[in-house]
Amino acid sequence: MTQQQLGDMVGLKLQQIHRYETGATRINTSRMLNIAAALDVPVTFFFEGLEAYLNDRLWRFSNQAVPAA
């Protein structure tokens, strides 16, 4: 499916779909639900890999050296 086809299905322009896909624009919950339905995937599809990413970020943050005062 192209971005244009997805945009047509959910009533958005190609440019807006592109901005969502690249992260240039935040997406609200109802729009995400509409897109998930159009793609025939659960909304959790958009969050796959998030837990590993957050765990990695937390590990890196907790292991940073704290400068002496």
Which domains does the chain possess? 3-62 (1.10.260.40)
pLDDT at 56: 87
pLDDT at 6: 96
Helices (H) and strands (E) in the chain, counts: 4, 0
**pLDDT 10s per residue in the chain (69 long)?**
999 999 999 999 999 999 999 999 999 999 999 999 999 999 999 988 888 888 888 888 887 766 666
36 contacts: CB under 8 Å, gap ≥ 6: 42, 43, 45, 46
pLDDT at 12: 97
pLDDT at 28: 95
Question: Is there a contact between 21 and 14 (Cβ–Cβ < 8 Å)?
Answer: no
**Per-residue buried b or exposed e for 9-30, using 16+ beta carbons within 10 Å of the residue's own CB:** eeebeeebbeebeeeeeebeee
